[in-house]
Amino acid sequence: MTLTAQLVEDLASQRHAVESLRAEVADMSQTLAQQSQILTEHRKRLLLALRMVRDDDARQRQALLDLRGSPSYEDAFDADDPLVSVLVPTFNNWELLRDRSLPSVLAQTYQNWECIVVGDSAPDETREVVEAFGDKRLRFVNLPYRGPYPDDPADLHRISGTPPWNAGLALAQGKWIAGNADDDALRPGCIDTLLTHAKRHRAEVAYGYIDEWFPDKPLRRLGAFPPRWGQWGIQASLFHAGLRFLPLLPSDWVFEIPNDMSLLERMLRIGVRFAMAEETVVDYYPSTLWRPSGEMTQDHIS
């Protein structure tokens, strides 16, 4: 055999070996991808199972049934002019609280409301803003320290506003509870629309559409029935006050779920009655898009 023929034969053999290795690598990659997908699904199921244990759905479902059997339950639907408590968690965003959020509450066509602004250890300017409106229906309460929150910014964002929301929930005197972020705006008819809808449909949570505004592209309308991830928000909702046994949970970040979506899923699992009004009730300005990098506000839409 000539040297050239030997080289050709060796090259062909090496090519065959390379192709075999490529096939083996492809098989291994496919196997690893399948295993990774299986592990991911197992992880999701495990996290969901742990959340259900934490949430104690059976006990919460019984609490809901007990609520429906109580005299105060029907009072919320039958009262002609029930008090509505509007909760506004805030941290360091007193300018938009002053210029957008609170003016939208004051502009409501429905007038029998109280608004509890709860500072997440907010600066002194926040109290000054609330008091400057001179409306006795506005109340400011400041928590002594912020959080506590996890160090990772993504985890922090998932539960941002949880302690002040829960503090406001405990202070609320209304038969119905609404919410607003410190940088969003309720439409003037928000409370009126949702209260009318809740009464008409005997809904424990009434909600409407959300117009989401961006700095650099057209607005997007959010909302679906039944409510689902990313298509529902606290500030577009009116809650029966008897649901206060369902607070936001500070451990949601461990399960990699935003606090509002966790609340929604817990309510759906135990059978809370929802009704959706075919009307936009809030203008939503995502804080992560509108505020400078690194600044945080109390935001409840994911």
Give me the pLDDT at residue 301, please: 45
Beta bridge partners of 138: 115
**CB-based burial label for 186 (10 Å; 0-12, 13-18, 19+):** buried
Give me the pLDDT at residue 8, please: 65
* Max CA distance (Å), the chain: 105
Model-wide pTM > 0.85: no
**Distance from C-alpha of 234 to C-alpha of 58, rounded to nearest angstrom:** 24
Give me the pLDDT at residue 302, please: 44
- Two tokens, residue 281: 């009730």
**Distance from C-alpha of 57 to C-alpha of 69, rounded to nearest angstrom:** 18
b/e for 46-70, b at 16 or more Cβ within 10 A? eeeeebeeebeeeebeebbeebeee
The 3-state secondary structure of the chain reads CCHHHHHHHHHHHHHHHHHHHHHHHHHHHHHHHHHHHHHHHHHHHHHHHHHHHHHCHHHHHHHHHHHHCCHHHHHHHHCCCCCEEEEEEECCCHHHHHHHHHHHHHCCCCCCEEEEEEECCCCHHHHHHHHHCCCCCEEEEECCCCCCCCCCHHHHHHHCCHHHHHHHHHHCCCCEEEECCCCCEECCCHHHHHHHHHHHHCCCEEEEEEEECCCCCCCEEECCCCCCCCCCCHHHEEEEHHHHHCCCCCCHHHHCCCHHHHHHHHHHHHCCCEEEEEEEEEEECCHHHHCCCCCCCCCCCC
Give me the pLDDT at residue 20, please: 73
Cβ proximity of 232 and 300 under 8 Å: no
Give me the pLDDT at residue 3, please: 65
Give me the pLDDT at residue 11, please: 67
CA of residue 192 relative to chain centroid, distance: 22
CA R_g for the chain: 26
Residue whose token pair is 């941290």: 91
Separation in Å, CA 175 to CA 40, 51, 264: 43, 29, 20
Cβ proximity of 266 and 99 under 8 Å: no
**Distance from C-alpha of 279 to C-alpha of 211, rounded to nearest angstrom:** 10
Give me the pLDDT at residue 295, please: 47
Query: What does pLDDT average to in each consecutive run of 10 residues of the chain (302 residues)?
Result: 68 71 72 68 75 89 96 94 98 95 98 98 96 97 95 94 97 97 96 97 98 92 95 97 97 94 96 97 86 51 44
